Structure 1
């Protein structure tokens, strides 16, 4: 699976640089832990604080990036406050981990996408997620 996933610099806290191995995204929801943290494990129902960088598969420009804003985001995980792809991949990883997640539309924004953000209904999303804290 790793060979199908984008190549990302693994250093926790560094601004993500993403290289796509193929024009086609892998099928299904995929997550790879690039760096394993040694902090507490994220559990469903926790409030996590993360830095993230989101792009449409194959594109260079992020549609959203807390790294670019220099402002981490906090929200409940596993409880429907964020897209399903996050709810299903972030729990089970430790604080200090860097993940790269490939999210097909059915686990993202669905067939309507988010046109104002440049996300089409059939776009696969890629997020690089640094887990900063959980409580």
Structure 2
């Protein structure tokens, strides 16, 4: 797989988590609270500006889902290894409302996530 392109989405930002499978995997399934290994790309919904990418670092990342933002905890389970999924995550499932102290507070975020391993 290569680094994904994120298509600009028309219209207002969604108020709930939007899950869109780009590629459905055929391997092991990610489960709530499990550990996943992923490649990911994150952009701001409004500007399309990239704010984070494991692709740019040249290596995937492994971590337990319970330590992640709620949009990832809700949006990754059910994915299968080999899959690519786009998550559009409103602020209340990401870094909270504007003024919350994080540079992404108040922003709707779009992630494209490739599931490499699930345990």
| TM > 0.5 | yes
CA positional deviation for 1:17: 1.1
After TM superposition, what 4+ stretches of structure 1 lie above 2 angstroms from structure 2?
58-61
In structure 1, what is the Cα distance between the partners aligned to 2:47 and 2:6?
9
**Alignment match of 1:95 (pick from 65, 78, 81):** 81
- The separation in 2 between residues aligned to 1:114 and 1:16, in whole angstroms, is 25
* CA shift digits 1:69-94 (9 cap, x unpaired): 111111112x2x00000000101110
Match of 2:17 in 1: 29
TM-score by length of 2: 0.91
TM-score, normalised on structure 1? 0.80
Residue aligning to 1:44: 32
Change (3 A) 1:113 1:127: farther
Partner of 2:113: 129
Structure 1 segments unaligned to the other structure (5+ residues): 1-12
Number of equivalenced pairs: 117
5 Å-filtered alignment, 1:1-135, equals 13-77=1-65, 79=66, 81-111=67-97, 112=100, 114-115=102-103, 119=104, 121-135=105-119
Can you give the 5+ residue segments of structure 2 that lack an aligned partner in the other structure? none
Please give the root-mean-square deviation of Cα atoms over the aligned residues, in Å.
1.4
